[in-house]
Amino acid sequence: MNQLLVSRHIPHATRRHVAFVLIAFALFGGLLPQITSADEPAKAKRPNIVFVFSDDHALQAIGAYGSKINKTPNLDRIASEGAVFHNSFCANSICGPSRACILTGKHSHINGFLRNGNRFDGSQVTFPKLLQDVGYQTALIGKWHLGTDPVGFNHWEILPGQGNYYNPDFIQMDRSRKRYTGYVTDIITENTVDWLENTRDKDAPFVLMCQHKAPHRNWSPPPRHFDLYKGVEVPEPESLFDDYEGRSKLLHESEMSLANHFYWGHDMKFHGESLFPEHFLPRLGNGEYRRMNDEQKAAWDAAYEPENQKLIADMQAGKLSSKDITKWKYQRYIKDYLGTVQAVDDSVGELLAYLDETGLAENTIVIYSSDQGFYLGEHGWYDKRWMFEESLRMPFLIRWPGVIEPGTESTAPIQNIDYAPTFLEVAGAEIPEAIQGRSMVSMMKDGCRASSTWRDAVYYAYYENAAVHMVPVHDGVRTERYKLMFFPRGR
């Protein structure tokens, strides 16, 4: 159209001159590079996203959420330099389903992954695929736990199933397995930094998902944190000896209590068969110990055996009541759990330092979350699944330089189905209508305050009836003030 206008309204000689100039401009980089360079800065401004995701990290074990039992300086740094969301909820409080909700932006009954043991349908729309379509590199390193291979990632290296803490195997993209010597949280961190440094295309924006096994059961800390709480009595929750008086009988049926459902070897880290099966479940041994080399075993035994032998002697001498034994179990459990949490905090510190040193920090969104909350002895429990607050709430810490003011605290109700549309809007990708979550971008640009049109309730559903831990199927709705829960087996 412009050529027609030129040819009709200027003399012939001038037309030849203009044509020559246009051809020269195109040949020698004057015209086309200008078009490209106008487009490239827009792409370059799209932020990178580093999404650090752990497993079973309770809010009550994060400093930014007011922990009274541990310190997490690196996680707290994300909060102090960005925002902490106090009303962050999962849609289904269990490992695989939570991950499926995040990938799809949809509730479990829509994305098809209702319970652990299902297989994720990778042919459905997920946010990594859509980000690839708009030029983002996508990478996932660590725990996957969805039964099928990751789809939509330029690079992935995942733990098989739940994975191991010590000397873990990782499934490679060619389906081979590679065993590393060391501690899983550290290895995931090292491989994450290696991808950032040596593998990615440094001219393209990226989304990197660094996904930890920790602090999942059986809570095996790294050697450097064996003595982190040595000689310290970690405060017990007030409801450690809850008797559920006046509440549903379903609470009594669950199998996730410290008093009755910890294994002698797997959970409590003793060798051999249970000497006290009435207090410590037999049979399931410590699989992590079996994976260790001689040096690792020696360090482990030096840390654990003195306390183990003292407890055995005290129990054989009849010095301890059932309540004393439960209190001992709590200390063993919580110290191991917090040791694995500390390794995750170490990892976050390493990633933040790398982003700082390379200059990536200024254009990279950093998010820390976990697949759900967890019980740290509250109501006498460990594990998750229930729609009660300890397992329904999940951490969400975010640093977005230039967008979120440091030290922001939000009470807006968000859910893990909101992550996918948020990532898509950040990247400039279209959000499919089928996604049930909502983008948080406009909220984050407004002080992380919920607008008048933001949701006023979240929906939750749990589907593993009479399965592991005997938590019944239930669903419910939570608002700012109320929670309604429905138990089909209710009584």
Q: What is the pLDDT of residues 435-453, one digit of tens each?
A: 999 999 999 999 999 999 9
**Torsion from C-alpha of 346, 351, 355, 358, nearest 10 degrees:** 100
Considering the domain architecture, whether residues 380 and 447 belong to the same structural domain is answered as yes
Residue 251 lies in a domain: no
Domain range for residue 480?
48-221+329-486
Kindly state whether residues 364 and 422 are assigned to the same domain.
yes
DSSP strand pairing (457-462 vs 474-479): antiparallel
Distance CA 217, CA 243 (A): 24
Position 478 in a domain? yes
Q: Is residue 61 part of a domain?
A: yes
Shared domain for 37 and 104, answered yes or no, is: no
Q: What is the DSSP string of 15-43?
A: HHHHHHHHHHHHHTTSSHHHHHHHHHHHH
Q: Which of 83, 58, 65 is nearest to 404 (CA)?
A: 83
Q: Residues of the chain with pLDDT > 70: what percent? A: 91
Angle at 131 between CA 190 and CA 447, to 5 degrees: 85
Give SS3 for 377: coil
Distance, CA of 434 to CA of 421 (rounded, Å):
11
Coil, strand or helix at 428: coil
Q: What is the reported pLDDT for 104?
A: 98
The pLDDT score that the predictor gives to residue 491 is 66
CATH number, position 369? 3.40.720.10
Q: Does residue 319 lie in a domain region? A: no
Q: What is the pLDDT of residues 275-327, one digit of tens each?
A: 999 999 999 999 999 999 999 999 999 999 999 999 999 999 999 999 999 99
Q: 350-370: per-residue pLDDT in tens? A: 999 999 999 999 999 999 999
Confidence of residue 489 (pLDDT cuts 50, 70, 90): confident
Q: Do 127 and 80 have their domain in common?
A: yes
Geometric angle at alpha carbon 332, from 383 and 185, rounded to 5° = 65
pLDDT at 467: 76
Which amino acid type is present at position 330? Y
Give residue 6's Cα distance to chain centre: 59
Q: How far apart are CA 19 and CA 218, in angstroms?
A: 74
| CA dist., res. 367 & res. 420, Å (int) | 13
If asked whether residues 21 and 131 sit together in one domain, one would say no
Non-local CB neighbours of 368 within 8 Å, separated by 6+ positions: 52, 53, 54, 75, 78, 348, 395, 396, 397, 398
> Is residue 119 very low, low, confident or very high in pLDDT (cuts 50, 70, 90)?
very high
pLDDT (average), residues 415-443: 98
CA angle in degrees (0–180, nearest 5) for 259-261-267? 100
CA 125 to chain centre: 20
The answer to whether 346 and 232 have CB atoms below 8 angstroms apart is no
Q: Per-residue pLDDT for 42 more than 50?
A: no
Contact (CB, 8 A) for 439 and 427: no
**One domain, residues 128 and 27:** no
Whole-number Å distance between alpha carbons of 162 and 490: 31
How many residues appear in the chain?
491
For the chain, first and last CA: distance in Å? 76
The answer as to whether 442 is a domain residue is yes
User: What is the distance between the alpha carbons of residues 165 and 286, in angstroms, rounded to a whole number?
Assistant: 11
Same domain, 81 and 210: yes
| pLDDT category of residue 37 using cuts at 50, 70 and 90 | very low
DSSP code at position 246: T
Does 17 share its domain with 72?
no
CA distances, 270 to each of 151, 301, 306, 377 (Å): 40, 10, 11, 20
Q: What's the pLDDT band for 45 if we cut at 50, 70, 90?
A: confident
How far apart, in Å, are the Cα atoms of 84 and each of 373, 399, 457?
15, 9, 19
Q: Domain check: are 470 and 385 in the same one?
A: yes
Q: What is the mean pLDDT of residues 265-275?
A: 98
- The answer to whether 34 touches 43, Cβ cutoff 8 Å, is no
As a whole number of angstroms, the distance between CA 431 and CA 429 comes to 6
- Quick one: pLDDT at residue 13? 39
Residue 371 lies in a domain: yes
Q: Output the pLDDT for position 90.
A: 98
- Greater confidence (42 vs 316) lies with 316
Domain co-membership, 18 together with 78: no
The average pLDDT across 67-91 equals: 98
Q: DSSP per residue over 62-103, as a string?
A: -GGGT-SS---HHHHHHHHTSEEESSEE-SS-SHHHHHHHHH
Looking at per-residue pLDDT, the higher value among 296 and 469 belongs to: 296
From the centroid of its chain, how far is CA 238? 28
CA distance 171 to 144: 10
Q: Report the interhelical angle of 322-358 vs 73-80 (nearest 10°).
A: 60
Residue 490: the pLDDT is 74
* Average pLDDT over all residues of the chain: 92
Could you tell me if 26 and 93 lie in one domain? no
Would you state the structure tokens that stand for residue 186, as one six-digit string? 């550290």
pTM: 0.91
Sheet holding 457-462, edge to edge: 457-462, 474-479, 483-486
Q: Where are the alpha helices (DSSP H) in 59-216?
A: 73-80, 95-104, 108-111, 127-133, 184-194
**What pLDDT sits at residue 405?**
98
Average pLDDT over residues 385-399: 98
**Parallel/antiparallel/unpaired status of strands 177-179 and 396-399:** unpaired
Confidence at 64, pLDDT banded by 50, 70, 90: very high
Give just the sign of the alpha carbon dihedral 375, 380, 383, 388: negative
Q: Is residue 435 part of a domain?
A: yes
Total number of domains in the chain: 2
Residue 3 has pLDDT above 90, yes or no: no
Within-domain flag for 316: no
- Considering the domain architecture, whether residues 29 and 64 belong to the same structural domain is answered as no
